[in-house]
Amino acid sequence: EASSSDDFQVLLSWADKHRRLKVRANAETPVDAAKARELGAEGIGLCRTEHMFFESDRIDQMRGMILAENREERQHYLDILLQFQESDMLDLFRVMDGLPVTVRLLDPPLHEFLPHTEEDMVALSSRIGKPVAKIRAMTESLKEVNPMLGFRGCRLSVVYPEVTEMQVKAIIGAAVKATEEGLKPYPEIMIPLVINVREIRLVSKIIDRVIQEVVQEKQISVPYKIGTMMETPRAALGADRLAPEVEFMSFGTNDLTQMTYGFSRDDVSKFLPQYLEKKMVESDPFVSLDLRAVGRLMELAVTESRARKPGIKYGICGEHGGDPRSIQFFHDLGLDYVSCSPFRVPVARIAAAQAKVRRELDL
């Protein structure tokens, strides 16, 4: 007797035959990446590198780096972080052999890495050899009133280019090692929270230079792409100027929704339920894409950037990437792929096929 799971596999194989949109997954651990692949992901559309540094053995080094008082001290920690980043990336390239892996440069507000409690600070003090009072003062000084609108994304690359250098060295170093193992890594380096072309130029210059250095040193080249997140209204409104500088654009609809509405992503539970109840908004815009606003920004960005640079690739890696209703819109817009949590990949595959069939049948 055929199980429902067999039926589901048949349905998925039909979906794959019919869909145009590719489906990738958001993942940063080998376990999640393997799960994603098993569920049919055709690559990683978003590897949030900041998540890779929260592990207990890495966080102290990260904290040491952030609290460093001069370049030498910072470099000491960056050299250690480089080893972690490179081996983590190699693990990911092994799992994703032959498929693209979009690696996003560090994005969190810096103080998220810092100790939160007095106990944490005392423990950190002995580990990095700094007085507790100093750690407390520096942690205080890094705190922001609106961290989601603050010192994050490529703003870190502008202020601390050496952090970006470390990440690129690690990503490409890992890709070189994977290639030496006979694998085919396809790293795509993605710049977060971009607002303008100057940021892209500055960060791309660092990326290109570091890659040249690695390639020179190892005498082996690897294919790579540079792209940008599209997650601020300013980036969307100026997409035509960004396009010539990148090979792909990936819409970060979580931040784009937050900034379009002025709704804090991290605080919606406080007011959104009442807002929905009183019908002040039709539905939760963080779940289903708001076509009238965020969708229009995306449409403008795609239309104007494509006119400037035909052939540029588009993806979406916000939560909406796994939402069937939003997937219809992404199909219609002509995006190349959606990227979502591994467990949503099968539904996204089906939704992508439905989106295409619906249009073909003129429904």
First and final CA of the chain: distance in angstroms? 35
Enter the tokens of residue 316: 């979406």
Mode of pairing for the β-strands spanning 337-340 and 313-316: parallel
In the list ligand PEP, Mg ion, none, the entry touching 44 (Cβ below 5 to 8 angstroms by class) is none
Which residue has tokens 């006119």?
A: 307
Q: Which does 27 bind (CB under 5 to 8 A by kind): ligand PEP, Mg ion, none?
A: none
User: Of all helices (H) and strands (E), which one includes residue 227?
Assistant: strand 225-230
String marking each residue 215-234 x if it binds Mg ion according to CB under 5 A: ----------------x---
Report 294-323 residues binding ligand PEP (CB under 6 A).
317-318
Q: How far is the CB of 238 from ligand PEP (least distance, A)?
A: 18
The Cα 52–Cα 90 span in angstroms is 13
Nearest residue to 187 (alpha-carbon basis) of 81, 105, 245: 105
Residue 317 annotated among the catalytic residues of the structure: yes
71 or 296: CB nearest ligand PEP? 296
Contacts of 20 (CB under 8 A, 6+ apart): 331, 352, 356
Q: State which residue, 210 or 297, has the beta carbon closest to ligand PEP.
A: 297
CA 150 to chain CA centroid, Å, is: 18
**Numbered residues of the known binding site for Mg(2+):** 231, 255
43 touching ligand PEP, by CB under 6 A: no
Phi then psi dihedrals of residue 42, to 5 deg: -105, 30
| Distance in Å, CB of 195 to ligand PEP, minimum | 14
Nearer to ligand PEP, 238 or 318 (CB): 318
Q: Can you state the percent helix, strand and coil of the chain, rounding each to 5?
A: 60, 10, 30
Our CB check for ligand PEP shows the closer of 32 and 107 to be 107
Residue numbers 90-129 binding ligand PEP by CB under 6 A: 107
Task: Candidates 14, 18, 34, 48: give the one binding ligand PEP (CB under 6 A).
Answer: 48
- Residues 98, 310, 155, CA angle at the centre, nearest 5°? 70
Beta bridge partners of 249: 228, 314
Q: Which of 348, 351, 332, 329 is nearest to 340 (CA)?
A: 348
Distance from C-alpha of 341 to C-alpha of 89, rounded to nearest angstrom: 19
Least CB distance to ligand PEP at residue 193 (A):
8
Q: Which of 47, 154, 317, 340 is catalytic?
A: 317
Residue 48 contact among ligand PEP, Mg ion, none, beta carbon within 5 to 8 Å by kind: ligand PEP
Given the complex with Mg ion, which of 253 and 328 has the nearer CB atom?
A: 253
Q: Considering the complex, what minimum distance in angstroms separates the CB of residue 108 from Mg ion?
A: 10
Using CB under 6 A, pick the residue from 253, 260, 326, 354 that binds ligand PEP: 253
H or E, element range at 322: none
SS3 at position 26? strand
Dig out the tokens for 29 from the structure: 């651990």
Strands 248-251 and 22-26, sheet pairing: unpaired
188 bridge partner residues: 102, 225
Residue with Cβ nearer ligand PEP (179 or 254): 254
255 near ligand PEP, rule: CB under 6 A: yes
By the rule CB under 6 A, 252 interacts with ligand PEP? yes
The site partner of 253 among Mg ion, ligand PEP, none (C-beta below 5 to 8 Å per kind) is ligand PEP
Instruction: State the chain's maximal CA–CA distance in angstroms.
Output: 69
* Alpha carbons within 13 A on the beta-carbon side of 218: 19
Tell me if 28 contacts ligand PEP by CB under 6 A: no
What is the closest distance, in whole angstroms, from the C-beta atom of residue 215 to Mg ion in the complex?
30
Number of residues binding to ligand PEP, judged by CB under 6 A? 10
At its nearest, how many Å lie between Mg ion and the CB of residue 276? 23
Binding site for ligand PEP (CB under 6 A): 46, 48, 107, 231, 252-255, 317-318
Binding stretches for Mg ion (CB under 5 A): 231, 252, 255
Known catalytic residues?
317
